[in-house]
Structure 1
Amino acid sequence: MANNLDDLGVFVAVVKAKGFRRAARQLGLSPATVSETISRLEARLELRLLTRTTRAVTPTEAGEALARRVAPLLAEMEDSLHAARSQSGALHGRLVLNVPGAVMVDILPPLVEAFCALYPQVEIEIMVDDRMVDAVAAGCDAGIRYGEALAQDMIAVPIGPRRQQAALAAAPAYLAREGCPAHPRDLLHHACLRARFSSGALVPWTFEKEGEEIRLDPKARLIIGTGGSAALIGHAVAGLGVCLTFRNWLEPHFKAGHLVPVLPDWWEEFEGPYLYFYGRRPPAALRAFVDFLRAQPQVAGP
């Protein structure tokens, strides 16, 4: 019985996705496994359910009728199981997230801790990776990204602050020695501390003010991988040069007087991070995490 339900779930996913590859991506399976599952289901029912061409996969008349009847039943069953788990407080499962290092400083950890307190029997694995790989293809349930163009079949949920800023900072001693830039292009004559993504690209230095945008590629006195952002800020505190990074990371140093804001009128603002995943019927642990995120004030607010 369980195998029959699983096979029907794969069949409905293929019909909705209109293809094996997209359905496989949504389900976290290989296209070959999805194709074999459909063939097994058709053999069991002695019916041809899908018409396959090089351009599309479409249901036959019998397949369309079956999908129309089965889809709401599967959805209702999944909702019932999720409700039962939630009410009992005994949600089990495993949640694997693929995230950039930027959210591991002060955004994701408190959320994970609060979620673990609510669901102590859910196992969580966090893969920290700045290469911006496809999270599902990497074997994860969901990913967290900044401003990434998402495929049409992805669902995105805000996580953390809705807006963030890239702030420029330097130590008082450095500015006293080298002078304070009056315009972003002045940075071309300063010692710049830059970060590099795992892909090999340098983190861009972009500034904006009153509709004007300036993108610079200043020569770096020091380059550190994005995983070493704390060290980058530490070197700025030590007076080695000017650094550009998340404002929320720099605020404690501004308050302590270890760093001074540089060109604050030019700081670029951008959207905060999003959790994204494929499909509208995620696994129970992921669905619980999504519901938890949506209940957070910074997500539910305007």
Structure 2
Amino acid sequence: MKADLSDLNAFVAVARAKGFRDGARAGGGSASGLSEAVRRLEAQLGVRLLNRTTRSVAVTEAGQRLLDRLGPALLEVETALDVVNSFRDRPAGTLRLNVPVSASRLILPTIVPPFLAAYPEIRLEVVAEESFVDVLAAGCDAGIRYDERLEQDMIAVPIGPRVQRFAAAAATAYLDRAGRPAHPRDLLGHACLLGRFASGALTTPWEFERDGEVVRVDPAGPLIVSVGGAIDLAVEAAIAGSGIISLFEGWLRPHLDSGALEPVLETWWQSFPGPFLYYPGRRLVPAPLRAFLDFIKAGHRA
């Protein structure tokens, strides 16, 4: 059975976006065109791939199985077609990156604008999320992760600062009211603002280190936010005096510099290695990704 490649691409776009409008927005087509393509594919296959309501689109079991196989396959097709890019004066095409929200906030802003200026024929698509996905299955060319999250068969290239720190901070008004912790264990008596990963796990224990001594504490507090999209809410709550927050130093630095937040236990802030851009080593590197790698290796690491 042969299916039209454009219809398969339409199905993948809608399934990943969980909607025809968002799929069209991501792919540059029209919602009606995607809808017709998916209907045509379902009619040809004789099976429903998507459950549609007036408000949402959900992938059926058959659709999910097809999506799991199509993602990597279509990426290989793109890679094969990308071979002709080597005959162009300038690389062109789409580069898809899967990154944590922290990287989209702290690493990419100083890299993306000059990269797009240097390669105007490349379209960059960035998916920021906290769940750890198979970049190929997700239809992405590469991702950004920290060392402990890298898979064994991936090629990793340093990106961003090579040393980062976790910082703890609170509003001066809160510390004047509740007292300033002198030791990490003092946090157990404070209101702490926490995060929750998509897996359901909390962003605890908080870890501190000084002179070789590592201290882990499990604080509690009045606010728990989802890691990624709601972290700014926790930052604003800390600024408003709701409690102590622990986060990437780079995320809190503007508020520390402005005085909106005051450092807490600064001599205990723990350092950790910076992130890596990673991609599968078992396939040809698409021209847009090769251009991005060369750009990073040339020193544009943030």
TM-score above 0.5, yes or no: yes
Matched-pair contact (CA < 8 Å) for 1:182–1:263: yes
Q: Is the 8 A contact 2:86 2:287 kept in 1?
A: no
CA 1:283–1:160: 2 relative to 1, 3 Å: same
Q: Structure 1 residue 254 and structure 2 residue 298: aligned?
A: no
Contact 2:143 2:278 in 1 (8 A): yes
Corresponding residue of 1:167: 167
State which of 270, 293, 299 in structure 2 corresponds to 1:296. Answer: 299
Checking the alignment, whether the CA contact within 8 Å between 2:181 and 2:264 is kept in structure 1 is yes
Secondary structure of 2:135's partner? coil
SS state at 2:188 partner: helix
Deviations 1:42-83 (A, max 9, x none): xxxxxxxxxxxxxxxxxxxxxxxxxxxxxxxx9xx96xx666
Q: Does 1:217 align with 2:261?
A: no
SS of 1:244's equivalent in the other structure is strand
* Structure 1 contact 162–298 (Cα < 8 Å) conserved: no
Which one-letter code corresponds to 2:274 in the other structure?
G
Secondary structure of the structure 2 residue equivalent to 1:139? coil
In the alignment, which residue of structure 1 is the partner of 2:288? 285
Is 1:112 paired with 2:112? yes
2:37 matched to which residue of 1? none
Amino acid at match of 2:296: L
| Match of residue 134 from structure 2 | 134
Q: Tell me, what secondary structure is at the counterpart of 2:147?
A: coil
Instruction: Give the stretch that moved more between structures: 116-125 or 179-188.
Output: 116-125
CA distance in 2, matches of 1:213, 1:100: 26
Of 232, 235, 251, which aligns to 2:234? Answer: 232
Calculate the TM-score normalised by the size of structure 1. 0.69
Any idea what SS the aligned residue of 1:165 has? strand
2: CA distance, partners of 1:286 / 1:297: 14
Structure 1 residues 153 and 123 mapped into 2: Cα distance closer, same or farther (>3 Å)?
A: same
Indicate yes or no: 2:148 matched with 1:148: yes
Superposed CA deviations along residues 146-175 of structure 1, whole A, max 9, x for unmatched, are 233433321001111111000000100000
CA distance in 1, matches of 2:210, 2:217: 14
5+ residue gaps in structure 1?
A: 1-24, 35-73
Range with bigger deviation, 192-201 or 178-187: 192-201
Q: Choose which of 272, 275, 298 in structure 2 pairs with 1:273.
A: 275
- Kept in 2, the 8 Å contact 1:166–1:245? The answer is yes
Give TM-score, length-normalised by structure 2. Answer: 0.69
Q: Distance in 2 between matches of 1:212 and 1:184?
A: 11
Does structure 2 retain, via aligned residues, the 8 Å contact 1:130–1:199? Answer: no
Cα distance in 2 between the residues matched to 1:83 and 1:233: 46
Specify the alignment match of 1:121 in structure 2: 121
1:258 is displaced (CA, Å) by 0.8
Compute the displacement of 1:106 (Å): 2.9
How many residues of Structure 1 are paired with residues of Structure 2 in the alignment? 227
User: In percent, how many aligned pairs have the same letter?
Assistant: 50
Cross-structure match for 1:206: 207
| SS of aligned partner of 2:111 | helix
Q: In the aligned structure 1, how far is the partner of 2:166 from the partner of 2:187?
A: 15
CA RMSD of aligned residues (A): 2.5
Q: Which has the larger radius of gyration?
A: 1
Equivalent-residue separation in structure 1 for 2:300 and 2:97 (angstroms): 22
